[in-house]
Amino acid sequence: MVLPRPPRIKVLPPEDPPAELPVGSTYRAVLRTIPYLLWTFALIPLQAIALLFRMRAAERIPMLYHRGCCRMLGLRVKVAGERAPDRPMLFIGNHSSYLDITVFGSLLPASFVAKAEIAGWPLFGTLAKLQRSVFVDRRMQSTQRQRDEIAERLEAGDNLILFPEGTSNDGNAVLPFRSALLSVAERKIGPEQRPLKLQPISIAYTGLNGVPLGYGLRPLVAWYGDMDLASHLWQLLGLGRIEVKVIFHPPVTIEAFGSRKALTDHCFRDVAAGVAAAIAGRPQTMPAAPARGVKPIPQATPA
């Protein structure tokens, strides 16, 4: 008796992305856009008044706003580790999407360090200004002036959020950090002239509607390169529930490393390791912050 030959099944390697990405629901996009715009235009005058009269609410209103946006956009944020309560604090994070602003803004009482061109964007530029973002020009001749502006804000006790990659990426790995962007860490802060504290943070988009968000689906969330913002945002609004993992690493100062480059390398390793663990679904083990004058043990940098 001759048994029938089983049909051949072509198995794609795991790194091959699907031929087409899901485009989401237009109906869902409309239902999300309307309350988002209403929520945004309702809080803009409140924030403007809080800034005008120098009210403490000027720091709390953006957190309230971003938390509401997380709910409306279907973002489910899971947090590991703890945010350091010290002020001022320079938060250091990786950057793959405009959603990073919403997620970090919902968790951190802080302003962003943003590229200068964002100030001119319709609506989003206004929102960035209302959150008292520091706009920086990447040109070399502007470095000193921008470092002074960032230092002034920190001296005033403000928390800031910085993306040291200098640009967004596809979210599958972390680009090398630019040590020049951390030059403010070399300064002493406050009347006590104490070193500035930095807290590395990892953010990763890990799931879509309960399904792991793999290599091929990550462009649905990540916005980078020459992607068109309007079409990408509209498609994202039509998606379902997006799972986000945020990992707070131990805060550090430059005194534990001796140089800005060593400090930058340490922050990069912490953030990259956190992103790799979140994408792989592994639990993140929090390393202890290095003691003053003790050189941290080198860690493997994820590819």
Question: What domains, with CATH codes, occur in the chain?
Answer: 26-280 (3.40.1130)
Question: For position 9, what pLDDT does the model report?
Answer: 39
Question: For position 14, what pLDDT does the model report?
Answer: 42
Q: Determine whether 19 is exposed, middle or buried from the number of CB atoms within 10 Å of its CB (0-12, 13-18, 19+).
A: exposed
Q: What pTM, to 2 d.p., does this model score?
A: 0.87
Question: For position 135, what pLDDT does the model report?
Answer: 93
| Distance separating the N- and C-terminal Cα atoms of the chain | 53
Question: For position 293, what pLDDT does the model report?
Answer: 46
Number of Cβ within 10 Å of residue 91's Cβ equals 24
Residue with token string 């340490």: 266
* Opening angle at CA 201, ends 196 and 203, nearest 5: 155
Residue with token string 């061109």: 117
Q: Provide the β-strand partners of residue 78.
A: 245
User: What is the per-residue burial (b if ≥16 Cβ within 10 Å, else e) of 72-90?
Assistant: bbbbebeebbebbeeebbb
Q: Per-residue pLDDT tens for 222-262? A: 999 999 999 999 999 999 999 999 999 999 999 999 899 99
Residue with token string 């640009």: 167
Question: For position 266, what pLDDT does the model report?
Answer: 98
Rounded CA separation 279/104 (Å): 18
Provide the 8-state DSSP code for 119.
G
Whole-number Cα distances in Å, 75 to 68, 71, 103, 214, 267: 10, 6, 8, 17, 26
The list of the chain residues with pLDDT below 70 reads: 1-23, 138-143, 284-303
